[in-house]
A = this chain, B = another copy of it.
């Protein structure tokens, strides 16, 4: 399964809003369609958004409508900007676009096909690096699980969220192959139910036992002492190790500490944002209230209520047992560990 791919000069993606009931792949050569798909969460997950955006830049110039050479860099840069305006929190998006912008600037004097090829190589590199990062995260993270027991995860940090096997789910899948996973408790993850729809679907396909719970059942599950680790992905990791991730991650981290359960964040280094000092500086996207008040087009809430619908929350570094990256496992103090990894990168 390739969540996002470059096929025949188009971006091909699996429409995640229709999972788990329909597997519909969409192909587009229109950057606006792609930006819209990211905004609507047809493509979602921090690493997958980065890969999609990188491919999306290639759609700036239509092969059927050749432009003058001096126009090209400007048009590519404009599409970088419009893709960058889709979602504010996941830093992989901005990191991928920054890499594409660097290529545009470096190759702007070259001809159209040379610039295009340089951009294509960069986008494919971003994709391939993520595949490798997922694999490495899985291997490193599985080592943190020392016995056969249950784990708990939130949202979807799986193949659907990345170019590879996932981040948190790569750890769980690798650990399952090593016989360390009894069962995965999956938070349904309101409002958009990525746990119920996507993570459950991925794990059932892998033959890993899954128990779906409502988000607020996690407290009872962690209290039952059957869970050895909570493992989640990340949308942005600040310099001191605070982690922005799907709304509901922070309460899980508090509950994990309350019950002496390790709280593991799994993310590629492309999710680290050394330019954002701490979590309170990470921009938190607020979603459309209708995502809370409606489900499948049906109103489920009383008319007349206000809604507060942040898509993410921030887990402070002191609640995190380890951050598993493709460049190594970071242990507290996370700020120091992140500084070391950034220097060596």
Which A residues contact B (CB, under 8 angstroms)?
19-21, 185-191, 193, 196-198, 200-201, 204, 209-221, 223, 247-248, 250-251, 254-255, 258, 292-293, 295-296, 298-310, 313
Contacts and interface: CB of A to CB of B under 8 A. Distances in A.
Contacts of A223: 250, 313
B251 A216 contact: yes
Given A214-B292, A215-B190, A221-B308, A298 B301 contact: no
A197 B300 contact: yes
B220 A313 contact: yes
Copies, count: 2
Contact of A186 (B196, B248, B305): B305
A201 B251 contact: no
Nearest to A306: B211
Contacts of A216: 187, 189-190, 215-216, 247-248, 251
A305 B276 CA distance: 39
B300 A196 contact: yes
A327 B189 CA distance: 40
A248 B218 CA distance: 8
Contact of A251 (B251, B300, B302): B251
Nearest to A224: B308
B214 A190 contact: yes
Nearest to A297: B298
A293 B210 CA distance: 13
Contacts of A212: 292-293, 301, 305-308
Contact of A300 (B186, B220, B293, B296): B296
Given A247-B220, A251-B251, A301 B215 contact: no
A214 B307 CA distance: 9
Given A196-B302, A212-B292, A302-B204, A310 B220 contact: yes
